[in-house]
Amino acid sequence: MTFIKIYICFFIYSIIGWIWESFLCSSVELKKLVNRGFFLGPYCPIYGLGATLSYLLLRDIGSATLIFILASIVSCTIEYIVGYILEKMFKDRWWNYDNYPFQLHGRVCLYGLVIFGLANVVIVKFSTPFLMFSLSVIKDSILIGLAISISLVSFVDLIITISARKKLNKRLSNIHERLEEKADIYFENLTNSSAFSNEYLLERGKILRNKAININEKLKTTEDNIKSYRDEYFS
């Protein structure tokens, strides 16, 4: 039954992570509430994964400082790997730390490392032992039923989410292609128009140049006539 309890703790921490992201972080960064989870439901599995793995790997360590250091490394490694996989799968970024100091490829940053480290000290030393104890007083049949229900809901949510994301990406791709086509047509027309304008300006320039040459020739002829007249009558 230990596995079932850990699994339920995983789901509880996923919900807590969603609350943290969608309410606390969004209200500070975006000044509004936003569902920042990958799934449609109110949970962020990456938080559940990080919390449960930290507990399983670090529960036998007595030093809170060592737990902080190791948990920071574990959590940020998970965050980086999951972020990379999601970006490759869906061609989109689910979080971005580019504006944070000491960040790596926008997927992890020093701020997150410190927060995850402190949170995991609480998780490993206090909250998870309390949750495990609380779940131990519940009948095994109820825990199994709860775990099965969670799995079914999560699986259905996963299928719907992936399908919706793929449809959205396809629509965005089609819109992008249409915009590129329209942009190509626009710039082609603009180029043709510019070419026409340039040809027109060149033609007008030639006409004005010829007129200037004619005027200059007439002036030179007049000047030559005046010189001839002067030489003939005043020399």
> Running DSSP on this structure, what letter comes out for residue 40?
S
Percent of the chain with pLDDT over 70: 69
Rg for the chain, CA atoms, rounded: 37
Residue pair 22/56 in contact by the 8 Å Cβ criterion: no
Tell me how far CA of residue 87 lies from CA of 40, 112, 221, in angstroms.
18, 19, 80
Average of per-residue pLDDT across 165-170? 72
Instruction: Give the model confidence (pLDDT) of 97-114 as tens digits.
Output: 888 888 888 889 888 889
Q: CA-based angle 158:161:164, to the nearest 5?
A: 150
Residue 233's pLDDT band (cuts 50, 70, 90)? very low
Which ranges constitute the DSSP H helices of the chain?
A: 2-19, 26-29, 45-58, 64-90, 110-122, 128-136, 140-234
Q: How far apart are CA 119 and CA 132, in angstroms?
A: 17
Averaged pLDDT, 209-218: 66
Residue reference for tokens 């309390």: 130
Alpha carbons 150 and 4: distance in angstroms, whole number = 11
- Which residues does 52 contact at the CB level (< 8 Å), separation at least 6? 6, 9, 10, 13, 128
Q: Which of 72, 26, 20, 21 minimizes the C-alpha distance to 50?
A: 72
Per residue in 38-92, pLDDT (tens digit) is 677 788 888 898 889 889 988 999 899 999 999 888 888 888 998 888 888 777 7
